[in-house]
A = this chain, B = another copy of it.
């Protein structure tokens, strides 16, 4: 290209002029719209190539009132929640689906005051065509913001309280039930639970699943022993458990991280897994395979979760009315139980 390539980007007007057509025709040609003769279409394409024209997405956004972006908003108490590899996998799935719909992904960590403030601005200003919301806690300020948002909202995992209109979730109750039933089927009778945060619906649902299974087997469910989904909290919970119930022979931990922490504690206490205490986790992320022994755990389709959230959002943006989705979980048996 021997063009003097000015620093400025060429505009559609310049393309039109060069192609000897009007701006309207050039615009139509560019968007593959009808009502453009073959000759002019080609002339426009040629001009685009010669000028190295790239449409200005901002101008297009202003004219169409569509930003071309979707936001993934992760709530939580502090930003380190995002260190959970769970979100990374959600993003892999969501990103692929958004790519297909030619939407960009904006990522907002709403786990700080500053972050929440910016999310609120985004929601109120229509800075995206729609949003996906994750990791909401009870009475999360994001719930209200989402209600007032001037754009489609898809929830990833149901929030505590009434189910929103559009969400994608995994079968937390069923997964937890299956995990617990597995422990029972192994002959364990004193099966304890290390819950996730009970101010999240996932935490509650997994406890319900555990409880259902215990009652169904005619066993006494343990009261909820709450962790915060981290390795450290799992270890701490296990320490408390061993102190209070030295005869525990099975543990369902509502998250692999916590299960790994429990494993460590059990080991340090000189007991064997699974011989003395069998442990089942929840998630089936990398840590489950790295743990020693490798974790029996409830597999949840994390990338699919992200993908389906994104697809649901795309449907909403396109004016459709998709139905909520609950994805199945399934037990993956390894060495820990």
Q: Complex Cα distance A69/B115, Å?
A: 14
Beta-carbon contact of A83 and B127 below 8 Å: no
Check: A107 CB closer than 8 A to any chain B CB: yes
Q: Complex Cα distance A104/B107, Å?
A: 8
> Shortest Cβ distance from A100 into chain B, in angstroms?
7
Residue of B nearest to A66 (CB): B58
Beta-carbon contact of A83 and B92 below 8 Å: yes
Per-residue contact bits, chain A 110-135, to B (CB 8 Å; 1 contact, 0 not) = 00101100100110111100000000
Q: Complex Cα distance A80/B96, Å?
A: 11
- Complex partner residue of A108 from B79, B104, B126, B291, CB under 8 angstroms: B104
> Shortest Cβ distance from A288 into chain B, in angstroms?
10
Per-residue contact bits, chain A 74-88, to B (CB 8 Å; 1 contact, 0 not) = 000001101111011
Q: Complex Cα distance A85/B92, Å?
A: 12
Check: A55 CB closer than 8 A to any chain B CB: yes
Check: A164 CB closer than 8 A to any chain B CB: no
Please give, as numbers and ranges, the residues of chain B lying within 8 Å of A115 by CB-CB distance.
95, 99
> Shortest Cβ distance from A255 into chain B, in angstroms?
12
Residue of B nearest to A78 (CB): B92
Beta-carbon contact of A102 and B125 below 8 Å: no
- Complex partner residue of A231 from B107, B118, B124, B290, CB under 8 angstroms: B290
Check: A26 CB closer than 8 A to any chain B CB: no
Q: Complex Cα distance A109/B257, Å?
A: 26
Residue of B nearest to A289 (CB): B231
Residue of B nearest to A230 (CB): B286
Q: Complex Cα distance A124/B52, Å?
A: 9
Beta-carbon contact of B125 and A55 below 8 Å: yes
A-B contact pairs, 29 of them (CB 8 A): A9-B126, A54-B121, A54-B124, A54-B125, A56-B126, A58-B61, A59-B62, A79-B92, A79-B96, A80-B92, A82-B92, A82-B95, A83-B286, A87-B88, A96-B114, A99-B114, A99-B115, A99-B118, A102-B118, A104-B106, A104-B118, A105-B107, A106-B107, A231-B286, A257-B286, A264-B290, A264-B292, A287-B290, A292-B292
Give chain A's interface residues, CB within 8 Å of chain B.
9, 54-59, 61-62, 67, 69, 79-80, 82-85, 87-89, 91-92, 95-96, 99-100, 102, 104-109, 112, 114-115, 118, 121-122, 124-127, 150, 231, 257, 260-261, 264, 267, 286-287, 289-292
Known contacts A85-B85, A105-B106, A231-B289; 18 additional CB pairs below 8 A are A56-B126, A58-B58, A58-B67, A62-B62, A80-B92, A83-B88, A83-B92, A84-B88, A85-B88, A87-B88, A99-B114, A104-B106, A104-B118, A104-B122, A231-B286, A231-B290, A257-B286, A292-B292
Closest CB pairs A-B (n = 3): A292-B292, A54-B125, A58-B61
